[in-house]
Amino acid sequence: MLELENVNVYYGAIHALKNLSLKIEEGEIVTLIGANGAGKSTTLKAISGLVRPESGKIKLYGKEIQSLNPPEIVKLGISHVPEGRRIFAKMSVMENLEMGAYTRTDKSEVKKDFEMVFSLFPRLLERKEQLAGTLSGGEQQMLAIGRGLMARPKFLLLDEPSMGLAPIIVKEIFSIIKDINETGTTILLVEQNANLALKTADRAYIIRNGEIEMEGHAKELLNDDRVKKAYLEG
């Protein structure tokens, strides 16, 4: 279980997260939706240790992790697939996946996970030796997710996996996200595409100006009039 309790994050004078609390139970897909600049990515960065909260607690199975640095958090089983994919463009697909398994020492298990990633994303296998920067946008997103999975995380944080991709590829990627969840990985999904995110997730939080505005079951929020008006129409 991953929990955020009254987390406050500042960027200089900007109060980016205001007493933000949320909770992710094991096995769930939870989505965090909201407008550009609402604090979605910052929430993920606070969890993975890239930004340090000014106050508040982040707990993984009850243990406080808010003061740990990113490598320590990866080792605890939280893998963050950042916004904009951020793959290593001048390294091969295979090397990118190896970087994903950077903290692991169980070589034979890592090998199995390469195969797992290639079976999820067969296109990556075809392009194994290619430089990652030469992949298409959709393939790069697949690589970013595959790289995240190579850490064998219990919690996978996905930041805008649909960004800039053709609808058909988005559909493919979201169906794979569901598959990943079904194998036991808990997912926190940040999305601007609220409609798609709510259809995929079990529960959802809506964030606005750094605060949680609404929370509930994804299906209910999908039919909520206020949500429809603010996030699903137009």
Q: Which residues bind other proteins (CB under 8 A)?
A: 48-50, 69-71, 74-75, 79-80, 82, 86-91, 95, 98-100, 102-103, 133, 135-137, 140, 147, 151, 164
Q: How far is the CB of 166 from other proteins (least distance, A)?
A: 12
Instruction: Pick between residue 29 and residue 87 the one whose CB is nearest to other proteins.
Output: 87
- Give the separation between CA 182 and CA 91, rounded to whole angstroms: 30
CB of 132 to other proteins, least distance (A): 9
Nearest to 185 by CA among 61, 4, 46, 30: 30
Residue nearer to other proteins on the CB measure, 35 or 163: 163
Q: Which two tokens stand for residue 181?
A: 């969840």
Q: Tokens 């933000």 map to which residue?
A: 20
Residue closer to other proteins (CB basis): 133 or 167: 133
Q: Rounded to the nearest whole angstrom, what is the least distance from the CB of residue 226 to other proteins in the complex?
A: 33
- Kind and range of the H or E element at 204? strand 203-208
Phi and psi at residue 59, to the nearest 5°: -120, 135
Pair of tokens at residue 34 = 């909201």
Nearer to other proteins, 27 or 70 (CB): 70
Q: Cβ of residue 206: shortest distance to other proteins, in angstroms?
A: 26
Least distance to other proteins, CB of residue 142, Å: 13
List, as one string, the DSSP characters of 150-178.
TT--SEEEEE-TTTT--HHHHHHHHHHHH
Q: Rank residues 50 and 176 by Cβ distance to other proteins and give the closer one.
A: 50
